[in-house]
Amino acid sequence: MIDYIRGSLTELNPALAVIDAAGVGYAINIALPTYSFLQPLENKEVKLFITEIIREDTHDLYGFPSKGERSLFELLLTVSGIGANTARMIMSAFSAGEVRQIIATGNARQLSQVKGLGPKTAQRVIVDLKDKVLKIDLGMADKPETGISDSGTSGHSPVRDEAVSALTMLGFAQSPTAKAVDKILQDSPAYTVEQVIRLALKML
């Protein structure tokens, strides 16, 4: 079992990070807050705590900056009907603290805004995890100081292209994804990639 991977961050997009550890490149699925955490650290040494999802036809790695975020992700996986991709979408649509608060307060309506979560599944998450989620110490990793901003304009900007690419990797169809991203950037051209993706996840 892999507990964490430490190495040089060689590739990064909002859905995937590649870490070179001792000459081996590990492709690690990430949620949006992890992307924001890693953004100023490209080509530097990073450490991600790992959840392994092993099936007959695949071996996927999911990475998080803190043990608490990983614990929250793994807790979501214990709910019937919640797979790794849906859990990642939940943790991309909201911060880890927001996810914990939504579940603890029984806000199934807000949770059901996430793609792939109908009202019944959202309610099941609340029922199954309400008493467990507050026991998790999120222990958020220290976010590096950075002046990096992904501001852009509507149209085929780097922000637009990166947001569409990330949402497509998460399983959304290209055409409606592009339309949603274009609409968001038309209304708010200074949004960062993270802001665009968060809003698009609630629209698609």
In order of start, what are the domains of the chain with their CATH numbers?
Answer: 4-64 (2.40.50.140), 68-135 (1.10.150.20), 158-203 (1.10.8)
Q: Does residue 172 contact residue 14 with C-beta atoms inside 8 Å?
A: no
Q: How far is CA 1 from CA 51, 75, 79, 102, in A?
A: 9, 18, 22, 31
pLDDT band, residue 147 (cuts 50/70/90): very low
How far apart CA 114 and CA 118 sit, in angstroms, is 8
Q: Per-residue pLDDT tens for 52-101?
A: 998 888 899 999 999 999 999 999 999 998 999 999 989 988 889 899 99
Structure tokens at 44: 């530097």
- pLDDT at residue 145, rounded to an integer: 38
pTM higher than the cut 0.85: no
Structure tokens at 120: 């019944």
